[in-house]
């Protein structure tokens, strides 16, 4: 045999390898073209907007654009003493323009985020600025209110000069940058977000645990019963699964209210006095009970699909080798169900951590989650960048869990119904 290996050629003289690659590439393009419409649709309408949230959450151009001359004049100011006349004059010029465009209200809202107390002094400044005389703006502005003569407030304005900010993320962790530029926590009694994050994790965790404890026995029963019984019982799992979330929440509201069915029943059997009915709704209990029932099918279904593949002879073998039924279960059956447990727990946890509707309806003030806070800032305070920041923090948490899920179970193994 010669040292040159003879290339295999196709009939038209092209090397087989090249020809094969060409055909493969054609198939690749064909397959990709099928996926492309959905992929591009999702990228434009969904993936980019999530990126947009990221930009919004760090965006702080608003104040930068409202006070361009001021910030330019402030560049050389060291922030120790009150700024020079030059800064005051620039601020006056910017401010007049804002008043003309009727945007000074927005400025006061924005500056108030940085330091409380701007709202009133900006209002005062607007009224006073009409009578300002030309020149010596420092004196004139400082005479409007004593806070205008306070260097702290000018430092607060300077802190808004950069176009990007991490303040929204800090705020979501109940922290802020103080006058010296250090990151510190807010006072103890004003820490609302940390409590919410912790409560979100706590509720998601315990709902997952409750779901697991309840789902395991019934998934086992469904997997071991003869088909004709298990099909019937399966309906008990699938009917809630297919029923509207709001319908199920409504039924819990009826059951759990003070004059509701559960309380009536407790009074009826003499467990509680009629005039001392416990509050089971508009608190954490409400969130726990309703979320557990609503998410239970998501735990049962993956467990069931794993348990169905476990041969009953394995348990018999375990017992015949001298194990008690309990040991046979613990050493043989349980380890085999771990993939299902992982799938179910992660699925329920992911769903629970982002829950919004049910806690908003039955959770009251003490049973709401971080999602409710996001919705509140989207709809009520209209602080969309703050909502975006919290949303992205939640999202990154979910993505970590999703990544774990993919490692353990594989996305392709998600089964529905």
Partner 1 sequence: MALPKYTEPHYRIWHYIYLTICGAVFFFLIAPLFVIFPLSFNAEEFLSFSEGMKRLDPDAFSLRWYKDMIYGTKNPWGLAAKNSFIIAIFATIGSVILGTVAALGLSSRHMPYKGLIMAVLISPMIVPLIISGVAIFFFMAKAGLAATHTGIVLAHIILGTPFVVITVTATLSGFDHSVTRAAASLGSDPVNTFMKITLPLILPGVISGGLFAFVTSFDEVVVVLFLAGLENTTIPIQMWTGLREQLSPTILAVATCLIILSTLILVTAELLRRRSERLRGINQ
Long-range CB pairs of 177-180 (<8 Å, 24+ gap) are: 179/152, 179/155
Q: Is 172 in the site for partner 1 (CB under 8 A)?
A: no
Alpha helices in 67-148 (DSSP H): 68-74, 85-100, 104-114, 118-129, 137-144
What spatial distance separates the first Cα and last Cα of the chain, rounded to whole Å?
A: 61
From the number of C-beta atoms within 10 Å of its C-beta (0-12, 13-18, 19+), residue 383 rates as middle
Contacts of residue 284, defined as CB under 8 A and 6 or more positions apart, other chains included, come to 199, 203, 363, 366, 367
Q: Is 387 in the site for partner 1 (CB under 8 A)?
A: yes
Choice from 83, 286, 297, 344 touching partner 1 (CB under 8 A): 297
In order of 45, 104, 369, 371, 387, the CA distances from 376 in angstroms are 23, 25, 11, 9, 8
* Listed ranges 1-9, 74-82, 106-114, 228-236: which one lies at the site for partner 1 (CB under 8 A): 228-236
To partner 1, the closest distance from the beta carbon of 357 in angstroms equals 6
Q: Is 279 in the site for partner 1 (CB under 8 A)?
A: no
* Listed ranges 5-13, 171-179, 336-344, 393-401: which one lies at the site for partner 1 (CB under 8 A): 393-401
Contacts of residue 116, defined as CB under 8 A and 6 or more positions apart, other chains included, come to none
In order of 10, 306, 308, 346, the CA distances from 342 in angstroms are 51, 11, 16, 6
Residue position matching structure tokens 């006095």: 273
Choice from 16, 151, 184, 250 touching partner 1 (CB under 8 A): 250
Choice from 67, 125, 207, 296 touching partner 1 (CB under 8 A): 296
Nearer to partner 1, 8 or 33 (CB): 33
Nearer to partner 1, 3 or 242 (CB): 242
Please, which of residues 117-136 interact with partner 1 by CB under 8 A?
Answer: none
* Listed ranges 2-10, 151-159, 188-196, 293-301: which one lies at the site for partner 1 (CB under 8 A): 293-301
Choice from 285, 374, 386, 409 touching partner 1 (CB under 8 A): 374
To partner 1, the closest distance from the beta carbon of 350 in angstroms equals 6
CB crowding 32-51: b at 16 or more within 10 Å, else e: eeeeeeeeeeeeeeeeeeee
State how far the Cα of 268 lies from the Cα of 201, in Å rounded to an integer.
Answer: 36
To partner 1, the closest distance from the beta carbon of 108 in angstroms equals 25
Nearer to partner 1, 30 or 146 (CB): 30
**Contact code string over 298-317 relative to partner 1, x by CB under 8 A:** --------------------
CA nearest neighbour of 357 among 374, 346, 370, 372: 372
Q: Is 375 in the site for partner 1 (CB under 8 A)?
A: yes
Choice from 249, 285, 287, 368 touching partner 1 (CB under 8 A): 249
Residue position matching structure tokens 């003070």: 258
Nearer to partner 1, 53 or 186 (CB): 53
Quote the distance between the C-alpha of residue 394 and its chain's center.
3
Nearer to partner 1, 240 or 302 (CB): 240
Nearer to partner 1, 73 or 289 (CB): 289
Q: Is 280 in the site for partner 1 (CB under 8 A)?
A: no
- 224 near 336, Cβ under 8 Å? no
Nearer to partner 1, 79 or 342 (CB): 342
State how far the Cα of 290 lies from the Cα of 250, in Å rounded to an integer.
Answer: 10
* Listed ranges 109-117, 190-198, 269-277, 381-389: which one lies at the site for partner 1 (CB under 8 A): 381-389
Number of residues this chain uses to bind partner 1 (CB under 8 A): 94
Please, which of residues 196-215 interact with partner 1 by CB under 8 A?
Answer: 214-215
Nearer to partner 1, 36 or 192 (CB): 36
- CA-based angle 416:393:399, to the nearest 5? 35
From the number of C-beta atoms within 10 Å of its C-beta (0-12, 13-18, 19+), residue 83 rates as buried
Nearer to partner 1, 156 or 294 (CB): 294
State how far the Cα of 115 lies from the Cα of 280, in Å rounded to an integer.
Answer: 40
Please, which of residues 8-67 interact with partner 1 by CB under 8 A?
Answer: 24, 27-28, 30-39, 41-50, 52-53, 56
Choice from 109, 112, 251, 283 touching partner 1 (CB under 8 A): 251
């Amino acid at each position: 045999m010669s040292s040159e290996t003879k290339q295999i050629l196709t009939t038209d003289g092209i090397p087989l390898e090249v020809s094969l690659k060409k055909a493969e590439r054609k198939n690749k393009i064909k397959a990709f073209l099928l996926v492309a419409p959905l992929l591009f649709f999702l990228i434009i309408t969904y993936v980019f907007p999530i990126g947009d949230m990221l930009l919004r959450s760090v965006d702080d151009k608003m104040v930068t654009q409202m006070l361009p001359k001021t910030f330019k004049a402030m560049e050389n100011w060291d922030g120790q003493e009150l700024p020079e006349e030059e800064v005051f004059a620039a601020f006056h010029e910017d401010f007049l323009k804002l008043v003309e465009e009727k945007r000074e209200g927005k400025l006061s809202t924005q500056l108030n985020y940085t330091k409380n107390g701007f709202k009133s002094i900006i209002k005062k400044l607007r009224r006073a600025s009409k009578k300002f005389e030309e020149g010596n703006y420092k004196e004139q502005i400082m005479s409007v209110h004593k806070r205008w003569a306070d260097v702290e407030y000018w430092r607060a304005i300077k802190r808004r000069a950069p176009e990007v900010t991490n303040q929204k993320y800090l705020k979501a962790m109940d922290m802020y940058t103080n006058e010296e530029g250090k990151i510190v926590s807010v006072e103890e009694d004003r820490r609302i977000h940390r409590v919410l994050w912790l409560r979100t994790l706590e509720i998601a965790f315990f709902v997952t645990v409750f779901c697991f404890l309840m789902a395991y026995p019934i998934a086992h029963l469904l997997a071991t019963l003869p088909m004709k019984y298990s099909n019937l019982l399966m309906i008990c799992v699938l009917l809630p699964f297919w029923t509207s979330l709001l319908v199920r929440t409504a039924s819990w509201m009826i059951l759990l209210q003070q004059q509701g069915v559960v309380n009536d029943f407790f009074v009826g059997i003499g467990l509680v006095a009629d005039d001392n009915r416990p509050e089971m709704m508009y608190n954490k209990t409400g969130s726990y009970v309703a979320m557990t029932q609503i998410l239970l099918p998501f735990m049962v279904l993956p467990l069931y699909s794993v348990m169905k593949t476990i041969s009953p002879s394995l348990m018999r073998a375990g017992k015949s080798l001298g194990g008690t039924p309990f040991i046979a279960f613990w050493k043989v059956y349980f380890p085999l169900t771990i993939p299902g447990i992982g799938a179910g727990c992660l699925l329920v946890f992911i769903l629970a951590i982002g829950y919004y509707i049910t806690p908003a309806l039955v959770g009251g003030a003490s049973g709401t989650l971080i999602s409710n806070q996001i919705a509140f800032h989207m709809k009520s305070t209209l602080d969309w960048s703050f909502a975006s920041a919290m949303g992205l923090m939640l999202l990154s948490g979910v993505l970590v869990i999703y990544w774990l899920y993919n490692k353990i179970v594989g996305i392709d193994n998600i089964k529905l119904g």
